Amino acid sequence: MTGESRTVRILKSEKPSVAASRRKRNSLPKKTAKERLQEFWNIFGKDDEVLAVISADPDSLASALAVKRLLRYRVKNVTIGYLNEIRRLANLTMLQLLKIPAERMKSLKADKFTKYIIIDSQPCHNPGFEEIKYTAVIDHHPVTQGCQADYVDIRPEYGATASMMVEYLRAAEMKPSVALATALFYAIKVDTQNFEKKAQLADAISFRYLFNIANQNLVRKIELSELRKSELNYFKTAFAEMRISKHRLYAHVGRVRTPDILVIIADFFKRVHDVAWVFVSGIHGEKLVVIFRCDGYKKNAGILAGKTFGQIGAAGGHRESARAEVPLKNLAKSDQDFNTKTLRRLTSRHL
Ligand SMILES: [Mn+2]
């Protein structure tokens, strides 16, 4: 998930009735894009005031913008409302450059709306989503229970919700504006990590379609908005703290305003030749955050993260990248005053 701190909850096992009805649904022949579009359109009326609810990240913002386009002339109005504060610079730049009209949920009057759509998320992904009764759910995350809505389109095999939205737009024979195409294009890039992550042919087809319409210079401008000037100081600390031994690089950066900077620093160090492992840690709020990076060759960052911190905090990830978040109070007394040496000692135990 690429959302800015999305609340992820462990999913309860599904009730048999839900699973059974899903199986039944799956046995039906696959719907065409045109059928989906028609079903989606059918749930709205001319007088509807629609709120598109998202947890703002590139995919949800772009997809919400596409929904707004799909419903133009079909409803009274579509407002895009996001739950989280948008802090990530690239996301702020995307909003600004592409003029995406999104508003913070808490600044909106809830009683003003007649229909609610949740996009690129599902109601149980975040407690803030659950209070609302949704008319439609459009998403690509694994199916969770509690998605009662008149219209549900969840396709977990897709790399991005934006890819699904391109299919809707094409079915509606609506050519996206440059801004919308650029947003969707960037969304697919981010959610599939430039097609290095889970993606399927459908994502590639949507991506190819957008390629001719999107403005590549705007995409680059958004992608290059990664660091605030003030954050360069964290690099200074990281370089001063950095220790390398046995092809492993360790750096504890100390207190940070956002854990995102730890990811950026770790990804930077990963480029150093002959460094097989990178461990970057910092303190955010009351938590120790550790970012794991490795080349994935005969190594597994996710497993190491779990072995090292799984008992005392949340830890996990993939072969090449992983992360652990540990409440400071769960650390041993002797480790409370965390530094680069502590980081090295703890991560080396299972290597
Ligand atoms: Mn997504």
Report pLDDT for 198: 74
Question: What token pair was written down for 41?
Answer: 């359109």
Q: Which of 150, 153, 125 is closest to 139 using CA atoms?
A: 153
Per-residue model confidence (pLDDT) at position 182: 98
pLDDT at 15: 42
Given this model, what pLDDT does residue 28 score?
61
What's the CA-to-centroid distance between 188 and ligand 1, angstroms? 8
Determine the pLDDT at residue 144. Answer: 85
Coil vs helix vs strand at 94: helix
pLDDT for the residue 25? 54
- Quote the ligand 1 centre to 325 CA distance (angstroms): 23
- Tell me how far the alpha carbon of residue 228 lies from the centroid of ligand 1, in angstroms: 25
Centre of ligand 1 from the C-alpha of residue 199, in Å: 11
Interval between CA 272 and ligand 1 midpoint (Å): 30
What domains, with CATH codes, occur in the chain?
Answer: 16-223 (3.90.1640.10), 229-348 (3.10.310.40)
Give Cα 75 to chain centroid, integer Å: 29
CA 187 to each of CA 118, 130, 181, 194, 272: distance values in angstroms, whole numbers, following the listed order = 17, 25, 10, 10, 29
pLDDT at 269: 97
CA 301 / ligand 1 centre spacing (Å): 23
Write down the pLDDT at residue 1.
40
97 contacts 222 by C-beta, under 8 angstroms: yes
Cβ-count burial of 205 within 10 angstroms (0-12 exposed, 13-18 middle, 19+ buried)?
middle
Residues of the chain with pLDDT below 70 are 1-28, 146
Tokens encoding 148 = 């009662």
CA of 193 to the centre of ligand 1 (A): 11
Residue 26's pLDDT is 54
CA of 60 to the centre of ligand 1 (A): 6
List all residues 6 or more positions away from 42 whose beta carbon is below 8 Å from its beta carbon.
none
196-232 confidence digits (pLDDT tens): 877 889 999 999 999 999 999 999 999 998 899 999 9
Q: What separation in Å is there between the alpha carbon of 120 and the centre of ligand 1? A: 5
Q: Are 198 and 159 in contact (CB under 8 A)?
A: yes
Q: Kind of pairing, strands 102-104 and 115-119?
A: unpaired
Ion ligand 1 — residues with CB < 5 Å: 59, 120, 161, 191
Residue among 130, 116, 104, 123 at smallest CA distance from 71: 116
CA of 48 to the centre of ligand 1 (A): 26
Give the amino acid at 303.
Answer: I
Quick: pLDDT tens for 298-347. Answer: 999 999 999 999 999 999 888 999 999 999 999 999 999 999 999 999 99
**DSSP 8-state class, residue 160:** -
Q: Supply the DSSP symbol for 3.
A: S
Would you state the pLDDT for residue 7?
A: 37
Q: What was the pLDDT predicted at 351?
A: 87
- Residues 25, 266: Cα–Cα separation, whole Å: 44
Amino acid occupying residue 107:
S
191 CA from centroid of ligand 1 (Å): 6
Instruction: State the distance from the centre of ligand 1 to the C-alpha of 197, rounded, in angstroms.
Output: 12
Measured in angstroms, how far is the CA atom of residue 1 from the centroid of ligand 1?
A: 7
CA 230 to ligand 1 centroid distance, Å: 29
Query: Cα–Cα distance between 48 and 71 in angstroms, integer?
Result: 10
Ligand 1 midpoint to CA 2 (Å): 7
| List of E strands, 143-213 | 151-154
